[in-house]
Amino acid sequence: MIVFDGVTKEYPDGTVAVDHLSLEAPSGKITVLVGPSGCGKTTSLRMINRMIHPTSGTITLDGKDTGRMKESELRRGMGYVIQHAGLFPHRTVLDNVGTVPRLLGMDRRETERRSLELLERVGLPTAFAKRYPAQLSGGQQQRVGVARALAADPPVMLMDEPFSAVDPVVREQLQDEFLRLQGDLGKTIVFVTHDIDEAIKLGDQVAVLQVGGHLAQLADPAYLLAHPVNDFVADFVGRDRGYRALSFQPTPHLPLAAESTVSLGERVSDRDDGWVLVVDGDNHPLGWVQAERVRGEVTTEMLHRGGTVARASGPLRGALDAALSSPSRRGVIVDDSGALVGTVKAHEVLTAIEETARPELVDADHPGASSS
């Protein structure tokens, strides 16, 4: 566990970057620091491994005052991932990943074995081992950066906007891979981002900071969305927070309708609304076609791929988004194997939301009540 107790960072010119910050980052969990530019997110992160020294207050790691620890000892137990990965351009991917283990005295053969294993863990083929950073895409470089931070198997990971420099599609893939890794490894992670959606997706708890390094609220994502403590937090998490809060509500039993389908290569008969769902041989949805625009057999080029496919076991937000984004206005619902189980309309999902809504009791002892 990492504990900030009244931590302040004031620079010689009088600028206060962090002001009496007190919070706990639990062991084995992801704590996300989020807020606008100038709120002290990165400064707070760097005070954990003493790249920046606090002016006052204490930071403890599993009960030990980090200010009394040798910096080399402290940093050996922490992986550090930054924006743009920070790889050594003149070293191969394999050598980049193995940097810390070699510094710690691990022999070359064991370092190579460990590095290759980690490349696979972060979703990179081992064939990339002999490449140089310039030969990789931005997303691939970030994966190498994560692998390097994990190489010495540190119990703590510090991550400073590691996915912000890549495009949205790659960013989502990296986030998903990161959550999968954390599910396997259970590290204590402090993660900095300016993106509230990323914070909500990744964090077990989210600390919202205001300019000047004030902690506005510390809460789990669902509570933060439902109960922002003040106008600043409410504005920062967004006016659509009610919709995003559906990500934390499981989908109840929905009145799914049986959807008539066609397969690629088949001919389409007319439908009242013109839209027909196309599936593959395993009954996995492939997309929609408009019957009146189909001449002859259905081909891949005819598919309209717009619309979310939601899992029956997933959150309510997925089911509602599937219905709203579908060109037919019928949300496609699948089981955990990806096979079609039926379709649902938006008003039916909204009815389910109303029926499952329950008044929530606000408890002052709930983590969501933590604020400055």
Least confident of 68-72, 236-240, 356-360: 356-360
Least confident of 120-134, 206-220, 241-255, 352-366: 352-366
**Would residue 364 count as lying in a domain?**
no
- Structurally, the chain folds into a number of domains equal to 2
pLDDT band at 16 (very low <50, low <70, confident <90, very high): very high
Supply the pLDDT for residue 41. Answer: 94
**Would residue 254 count as lying in a domain?**
no
Supply the pLDDT for residue 333. Answer: 94
Here the CATH number for the domain that contains residue 181 is 3.40.50.300
| Residues 281 and 232 both lie in one domain | no
**Would residue 361 count as lying in a domain?**
no
**Would residue 370 count as lying in a domain?**
no
Domain-ending residue, one of 207, 239, 271: 239
- Residue 371 confidence (pLDDT) above 60: no
pLDDT band at 33 (very low <50, low <70, confident <90, very high): very high
Higher-confidence position of 272 and 12: 12
| Residues 121 and 176 both lie in one domain | yes
| Residues 205 and 309 both lie in one domain | no
| Residues 197 and 80 both lie in one domain | yes
Separation between Cα atoms, residue 285 and residue 279, nearest integer Å: 4
Longest dimension (CA), the chain: 76
pLDDT band at 363 (very low <50, low <70, confident <90, very high): very low
| Overall average pLDDT of the 110-120 stretch | 87
| Overall average pLDDT of the 362-369 stretch | 47
| Residues 7 and 131 both lie in one domain | yes
| Residues 297 and 191 both lie in one domain | no
Segment holding 157, helix H or strand E: strand 156-160
Phi, psi of 259 (to 5 degrees): -110, 125
**Would residue 195 count as lying in a domain?**
yes
Separation between Cα atoms, residue 349 and residue 320, nearest integer Å: 6
pLDDT tens digit sequence for 300-354? 888 887 778 899 988 888 899 899 999 988 999 999 899 999 999 999 988 888 7
Here the CATH number for the domain that contains residue 319 is 3.10.580.10
Complete DSSP assignment for 326-356: -TTS-EEEE-TTS-EEEEE-HHHHHHHHHHH
Which of 150, 176, 174 minimizes the C-alpha distance to 162?
174
pLDDT band at 357 (very low <50, low <70, confident <90, very high): low
Which of 329, 217, 202 minimizes the C-alpha distance to 273?
329
| Overall average pLDDT of the 352-368 stretch | 56
pLDDT band at 361 (very low <50, low <70, confident <90, very high): very low
- Residue 359 confidence (pLDDT) above 50: no
pTM: 0.76
**Would residue 143 count as lying in a domain?**
yes
| Overall average pLDDT of the 119-137 stretch | 88
Query: At residue 349, what is the residue type?
Result: V
pLDDT tens digit sequence for 266-285? 887 765 558 889 999 899 99
- Residue 365 confidence (pLDDT) above 70: no
Average pLDDT of the chain, as a whole number: 86
- Residue 256 confidence (pLDDT) above 50: yes
**Would residue 266 count as lying in a domain?**
yes
| Residues 156 and 232 both lie in one domain | yes
Instruction: Print the domain residue range for 277.
Output: 261-356
| Residues 196 and 266 both lie in one domain | no
Q: Are 122 and 143 in contact (CB under 8 A)?
A: yes
Complete DSSP assignment for 94-152: HHHHTHHHHHTT--HHHHHHHHHHHHHHTT--GGGGG--GGGS-HHHHHHHHHHHHHTT
| Overall average pLDDT of the 153-166 stretch | 87
| Overall average pLDDT of the 198-206 stretch | 93
**Would residue 362 count as lying in a domain?**
no
pLDDT band at 362 (very low <50, low <70, confident <90, very high): very low
Token match 């064991």: residue? 110
| Residues 188 and 318 both lie in one domain | no
Supply the pLDDT for residue 364. Answer: 43
- Residue 174 confidence (pLDDT) above 80: yes
| Residues 230 and 268 both lie in one domain | no
* Cβ contacts of 233-239, under 8 Å, gap ≥ 24: 233/208, 236/34, 236/35, 236/36, 236/196, 236/208, 237/196, 237/200, 237/208, 238/196
